[in-house]
Every structure is written in C-alpha cells, then in structure tokens.
C-alpha cells in the first residue's frame, strides 16, 4: 500500500527524460534507483538526505540531490529528508554536535558554546548565523560530521528494518488469507 500511494506522486521515466528543464542532465537522471521505491534506494535516499540536511548552509537540498545522484539512491526521498533539519530542530542539532565534538576532541576546545537566536534584521540573519556557527569552532565541525554519519547509518538501518518488518507482516497476512 505505501509504495502504491507514493508511486502516484513520483514522475515516470518518460516525463523526466522529456522535461525541458531536465534534458541537460542527460543520462544522470535516468538511473532506475533514482525514482524507484525499493528497500535499497529509499534507505539510501534517507541516508543521503540526513547527511545533506545536517550541513549548516542553505544548500542542503542540493547536497542531498548530489549525494543521491552519486550513490544512485532515491532522489525525491533524499531531497524530502533534508526537511527534518529545520529551524525548530537546529538548536538541538547544534547542541548535540557540540557535545559530541567536545567528547571526541576534549573539553574546552570550542571557541563558544552558545548561539544568540534573536533576530534583529532578517536581511543579515544568514550571515550572522554563519558567523556564529563559525565561532563554535572545531568541536562543532567534528561533532556535526560524526552526528551526520551516525544519523545517516541509523536512518538507513531503520528504513531497511521497517521495510523488512512491513514485508514480513504483509506476507504473513497474505498466507493467512490463502488458508
């Protein structure tokens, strides 16, 4: 049921191949795993989306799309998964990254451990945020990389396990219906 539900929202190969804005990509967008909903491509798409989503720059979807193309995993899933990191979850991500980074490289290595979340001027919000993130130092960078890797592995394993459980339940119900 979930595959059939999502399949109606995904484009087919012909529409992608003939789309006027996507012709320039040539064969890059024609690999079957980029659009098919199978256990491997969806789990890989989740992992690519998590890695892309934990980059503290406004290029998260582009990075997730590039990772999906590189590893030939589900492209729409990768792009949608980046939305897990949003303004509501970023404070928790930053705190977790700093804690992991300080645990790995030792306490006191980061320059600062707090971020001023007040917004005085929306036009300078992103540069101010980048300056504050840069001020967090080595602990943040190391922690962010390790957190992205850990969450990507957990996301991949969770999707694979959930898919397997769903399949076993489906097969068991089908066998019971046949009896």
pTM: 0.76
Least Cα distance to 2 among 178, 170, 153 occurs for 170
DSSP the chain: -HHHHHHTTSPPHHHHHH-TTTGGGGGGGG-GGGT---HHHHHHHHHHHHHHHTSSSTTHHHHHHHHHHHHT--HHHHHHHGGGS-TTTHHHHHHHHHHHHHHHH-TT-SS-S------S-GGGHHHHHHHHHHHT-HHHHHHHHHHHHHHHHHHHHHHHHHHHHHHHHHHHHHHHHH-
163 Cβ neighbours under 8 A, 6+ residues apart: 39, 42, 43
**Tell me, what's the pLDDT at 7?**
66
* CA gap 110, 97 in Å, rounded: 11
User: Is the CB of residue 82 less than 8 Å from the CB of residue 113?
Assistant: no
**Tell me, what's the pLDDT at 39?**
92
**Tell me, what's the pLDDT at 121?**
72
Least Cα distance to 158 among 7, 10, 50 occurs for 50
Q: How many domains does the chain have?
A: 1
**Tell me, what's the pLDDT at 30?**
74
Q: Please count the CA atoms within 13 angstroms of the CA of 167 that sit on its side-chain side.
A: 9
**Tell me, what's the pLDDT at 80?**
92
pLDDT tens, N- to C-terminus, the chain (179 residues): 466 666 676 666 667 667 676 666 666 777 777 888 889 999 999 999 999 999 877 789 999 999 999 999 999 899 999 999 988 998 899 889 988 988 888 765 445 555 665 667 767 777 777 777 666 778 888 899 999 999 999 999 999 999 999 999 999 999 999 98
Residue 87 domain boundaries: 2-178
């Amino acid at each position: 049921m979930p595959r059939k539900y999502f399949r109606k929202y995904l484009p087919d190969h012909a529409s992608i191949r003939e789309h006027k804005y996507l012709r320039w990509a040539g064969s890059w967008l024609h690999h079957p795993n980029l659009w098919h909903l199978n256990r491997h491509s969806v789990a890989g798409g989740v992992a690519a989306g998590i890695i892309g989503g934990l980059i503290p720059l406004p290029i998260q979807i582009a990075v997730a799309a590039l990772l999906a193309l590189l590893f030939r995993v589900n492209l729409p899933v990768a792009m949608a998964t980046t939305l897990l990191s949003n303004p509501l979850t970023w404070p928790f991500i930053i705190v977790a990254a700093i804690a992991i980074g300080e645990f790995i490289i030792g306490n006191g290595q980061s320059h600062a451990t707090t971020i001023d979340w007040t917004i005085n001027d929306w036009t300078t919000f992103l540069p101010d945020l980048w300056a504050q993130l840069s001020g967090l130092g080595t602990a943040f960078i190391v922690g962010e990389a390790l957190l992205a890797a850990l969450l990507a592995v957990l996301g991949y394993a969770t999707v694979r396990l959930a898919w397997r459980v769903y399949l076993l339940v489906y097969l068991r119900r089908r066998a019971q219906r046949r009896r």
